[in-house]
């Protein structure tokens, strides 16, 4: 492999239209194969159709397909074919949608991707069952690859799913915990978000036939990237814009969730941290004025700066791990750009 020169961090997310070109036909086929009711809910959730099943004239979903891109680029990074890794890309995107459907139910978030969340339109049982169906479909997608690689791929996905559930469980438990440390938060984020991104990268390596050392490097790259992604997501949840993110900004503060900026701020010293601790310890529902105050206190107590610094630290660790996989220079550049863009995104 030729020498890789580390490029400068980028501020804009790379164009990944080619990923959607490879992903979407197989993804639509997988969703169409679901039972009718679940297929409609999944299609609505993805912005492909209205609640009554009428196809959208222009798909409303404007996601970045990050996880599928990681699968395909990781396959290319070890000299494999992106086309052969498409089943893995489909699987991780189905799992991602499964988590979003269930997360919206757990969190009670009524807005997703610039439209009412699926549970608020079809009801909680329909949203939960659709998530379950997507999970099964993800495993089925991996069954279509060559036998030896299918077994490795399914093992990789199942391990990530168990970590993901544990991470989500910790996140829910944090809401009632009197104190949460930054170390505890990072461990939670590794499971909740890092596990699936790590799995995405590892699947690319597995489906490309890479050896264990290269797959391990790809997996660790994805895990660190996932933590960075969660850090950035937490920042957007407090200081982002609903018009850009398609998600309700301030909802985490209203629910007194312990996102990373809040965790860092609560553990700080000074008047702002003390006032924030008192606000989070109160029992009255937080109104818009309280939320605005909490937002100011978190920033004043250093929570935003701490979360942004942690995101950058995780990206740097991710890129060090990526070098273990001995990636091709072109794939390294693209993965590098995706990694740094994660910390600067607005949605």
* 8-26 per-position pLDDT tens digit: 565 566 777 899 999 999 9
Identify the helix (H) or strand (E) that includes residue 97: helix 86-107
Query: What integer pLDDT is reported at residue 2 of this predicted model?
Result: 41
Domains delineated in the chain:
16-344 (1.10.600.10)
Mean per-residue pLDDT of the chain: 92
CA distance 215 to 203: 8
At residue 209, what are phi and psi to the nearest 5 degrees?
Answer: 80, 25
Query: What integer pLDDT is reported at residue 208 of this predicted model?
Result: 96
Task: Express as a percent the part of the chain with pLDDT over 90.
Answer: 81
Whether residue 170 has pLDDT greater than 60: yes
Query: What integer pLDDT is reported at residue 15 of this predicted model?
Result: 74
Whether residue 347 has pLDDT greater than 70: no
CA distance 2 to 19: 25
Strand ranges for the chain from DSSP E: 111-112, 115-116
Query: What integer pLDDT is reported at residue 345 of this predicted model?
Result: 73
Long-range contacts at 177-185 (CB < 8 A, ≥ 24 apart)? 177/258, 179/266, 179/267, 180/258, 180/263, 180/266, 181/263, 181/267, 182/260, 182/263, 182/264, 182/267, 182/306, 182/310, 185/258, 185/260, 185/263
Query: What average pLDDT does range 88-92 have in this prediction?
Result: 98
Query: What average pLDDT does range 140-168 have in this prediction?
Result: 93
**Cβ neighbours for 105, distance < 8 A, ≥ 6 positions apart:** 119, 124, 127, 128
Query: What average pLDDT does range 295-309 have in this prediction?
Result: 97
Closest CA to 263 of 178, 344, 168: 178
CA distance 182 to 261: 9
Identify the helix (H) or strand (E) that includes residue 67: helix 66-77
Query: What integer pLDDT is reported at residue 3 of this predicted model?
Result: 45
Query: What average pLDDT does range 243-253 have in this prediction?
Result: 74
Q: What is the pTM of this model?
A: 0.91
Query: What integer pLDDT is reported at residue 6 of this predicted model?
Result: 58
Query: What average pLDDT does range 270-283 have in this prediction?
Result: 96
CA distance 71 to 84: 10
| Contact criterion met (CB below 8 Å) for 60 and 113 | yes
Predicted confidence (pLDDT) per residue in 186-230, tens digit: 999 999 999 999 999 999 999 999 999 999 999 999 999 999 999
CA diameter of the chain: 61
DSSP-assigned beta bridge partners for residue 111? 116
């Amino acid at each position: 492999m030729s020498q890789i020169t580390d490029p400068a961090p980028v501020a804009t997310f790379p164009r990944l239209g080619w990923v959607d070109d490879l992903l979407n036909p197989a993804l639509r086929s997988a969703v169409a194969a679901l039972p009718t009711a679940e297929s409609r809910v999944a299609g609505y959730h993805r912005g492909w159709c209205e609640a009554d099943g009428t196809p959208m004239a222009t798909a409303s979903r404007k996601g970045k397909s990050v996880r599928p891109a990681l699968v395909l680029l990781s396959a290319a990074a070890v000299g494999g074919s992106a086309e052969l890794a498409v089943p893995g890309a489909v699987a991780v995107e189905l799992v991602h949608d499964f988590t979003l459907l269930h997360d919206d139910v757990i969190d009670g978030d009524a807005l997703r991707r610039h439209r009412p969340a699926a549970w608020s339109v079809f009801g909680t049982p329909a949203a939960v069952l659709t998530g379950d169906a997507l999970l099964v479909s993800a495993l089925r997608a991996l069954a279509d690859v060559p036998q030896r690689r299918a077994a490795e791929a399914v093992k990789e996905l199942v391990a990530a799913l168990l970590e993901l559930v544990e991470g989500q469980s910790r996140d829910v438990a944090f809401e009632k915990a009197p104190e949460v440390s930054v170390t505890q938060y990072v461990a939670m984020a590794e499971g909740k978000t890092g596990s699936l991104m790590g799995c995405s990268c590892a699947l690319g390596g597995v489906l490309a036939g890479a050896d264990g050392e290269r797959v391990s490097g790809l997996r660790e790259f994805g895990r660190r990237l996932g933590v960075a992604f969660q850090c950035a997501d937490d920042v957007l949840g407090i200081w982002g814009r609903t018009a850009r993110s398609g998600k309700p900004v301030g909802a985490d503060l209203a629910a007194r969730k312990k996102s990373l900026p809040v965790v860092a701020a609560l553990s700080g010293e000074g008047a702002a941290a003390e006032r924030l601790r008192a606000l989070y310890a109160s029992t009255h529902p937080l109104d818009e004025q309280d939320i605005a105050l909490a937002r100011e206190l978190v920033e004043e107590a250093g929570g935003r700066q701490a979360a942004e610094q942690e995101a950058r630290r995780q990206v740097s660790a991710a890129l060090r791990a990526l070098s273990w996989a001995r990636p091709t220079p072109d794939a390294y550049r693209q993965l590098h750009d995706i990694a740094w863009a994660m910390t600067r995104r607005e949605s």
